[in-house]
Amino acid sequence: MSAAPVVPTTAKTLDALPMTLPRIAEKKRLGEPLVMVTAYDYPSAQVAEAAGVDIVLVGDSGAMTVLGYSSTVPVSVDELIMLTAATRRGLRTPLLVADLPFGSYEGSDELAIATAQRFIKEGGADAVKLEGGGMMVRRAAAIVSAGIPVMGHVGLTPQTATAIGGYKAQGRTADAAWKVASESLALQEAGCFSIVWEAIPAAVADELMPRMEIPVIGIGAGASTDGQVLVFHDLLGIREGVGARFVKRYGDVMDEMVRGVRAYADDVRTHRYPEAEHTYSIDPGELSDFRKRLQAS
Ligand code: KIV
């Protein structure tokens, strides 16, 4: 196996300064769109770094995209910390945010702080993200008071999809839009440095944006938010099936990977691989000695 870096280091990444919370707030103030993407391991982090994104999220979507679970619910803290640490090793510039998995923060402020601390100490994350309003506003405030930056997440919250009626857009009635608004404002008040709005009507986002002092990152929330986030595997086409309405595909990496492995399999089966250029040589004298030893044995 070759250990050579596969992603070229561009001049841009060499010059780029590490992203900080003040720089993120400044981008909002200047109206510069924030780019966030998920990553879950060393190579996807290297891709995000080379592409020059602002924020990388080790989303609990990794439960599905890289660990093969059928939802985000089963993933453990240890599993997500391992993904976060691998991602950290591939990143230098973007802010690294890690999702707190389902069941790892809801129970008490103490639990929320202890879990968040593990992601910072063991995973190398710069900040954590948690889902929901209500009691989760208190958990967010507790983590912030422990010195750890928190990103909120409202609208479609996959960890509690069953409770909110499934994987579907939220905020589509006045009451439901009010819930998104009040949760967002409460999380802002609690000290979150940013918030994700997932799958809410663009018109609701348009109305709410003037109330938001912290950067809002949208996913299926229209164009008026301060930034956008997409799941790495969705945007690059690394997973099968039809994605959510908000997914835009920028590549067909799964097809390309299958094509590559199939071509390799064909070459092995038809003896086209390996060729002479893929083999190592030995000095003819050494080879002759070796042959003699073999024959004598
Ligand atoms: O887990 C995840 O990937 C997320 C994004 C969709 C925001 O929470």
- Domain positions in the chain are 11-251, 257-296
In contact, 97 and 103? CB cutoff 8 Å: no
Task: For ligand 1, say whether the CB of 196 is within 6 Å of any of its atoms.
Answer: yes
Q: Which tokens is 103 given?
A: 């069941």
CA angle 169, 69, 250 (to 5 degrees): 60
pLDDT along the chain (297 residues), means of 10: 51 72 98 98 98 98 96 97 98 98 98 98 98 98 98 97 93 98 98 98 98 98 98 93 88 96 98 97 98 98
Site to substitute for ligand 1 among 66, 87, 99, most atoms within 8 A of C-beta: 99
CA distance 105 to 152: 13
What was the pLDDT predicted at 200? 98
- pLDDT for res 11: 45
What single string gives the DSSP state of each residue in 198-215?
A: ES--HHHHHHHGGG--S-
* CB burial of residue 149 (10 Å; 0-12, 13-18, 19+): buried
Cβ neighbours around 84 below 10 Å, total: 28
**Which residue's C-alpha comes closest to atom 1 of ligand 1?**
59
Pocket lining: 61 vs ligand 1, CB cutoff 6 Å: yes
CA distance 249 to 267: 30
Model confidence over 85-131: pLDDT tens digits? Answer: 999 999 999 999 999 999 999 999 999 999 999 999 999 999 999 99
CA–CA dist 75, 125 (Å, integer): 18
Tens of pLDDT along 231-245? 999 999 998 777 899
Name the residue of 35, 37, 61 whose CB sits within 8 Å of the most ligand 1 atoms, as the mutation to test its pocket. 61
pLDDT of residue 15: 59
The whole-number pLDDT of residue 38 equals 98
Note whether 23 and 42 are within 8 A (CB): no
Specify the pTM.
Answer: 0.93
pLDDT of 239 reads 82
Q: Which fold has domain 11-251?
A: TIM Barrel (3.20.20)
